[in-house]
């Protein structure tokens, strides 16, 4: 983890930091992952696995000004449109 901290610290402010974390878990754990990505690591964006549905994605989307990239192969698990995700 110290290597990641070292690299992120050297990224110029004009360049966004994307954590390719591919996180996806139940709501409470997803919230902890989101806090870590955006508050601890100060990432600007993160990749998220939506396999478990909106509960695993929404904690990441609760951070204004941050980007969330969903893994496309798993979007089918969300059915034909989870209104919590697409609203």
- As annotated, the active-site residues are 22
Residue 16's φ and ψ, nearest 5 degrees, are: -70, 145
Range 78-85 contact pairs with CB under 8 angstroms and sequence separation of 24 or more:
78/50, 78/53, 78/54, 82/53, 82/54, 84/54, 84/58, 85/50, 85/54, 85/57, 85/58, 85/61
């Amino acid at each position: 983890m110290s290597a990641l901290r070292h690299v992120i610290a050297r990224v110029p402010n004009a360049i966004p930091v994307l954590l390719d974390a591919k996180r996806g878990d139940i709501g409470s754990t997803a919230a902890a992952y989101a806090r870590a990505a955006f508050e601890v690591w100060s990432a600007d964006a993160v990749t998220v696995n939506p396999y478990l549905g909106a509960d695993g994605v929404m904690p990441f989307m609760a951070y204004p000004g941050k980007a969330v990239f969903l893994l496309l192969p798993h979007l089918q698990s969300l059915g034909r449109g989870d209104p919590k995700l697409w609203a």
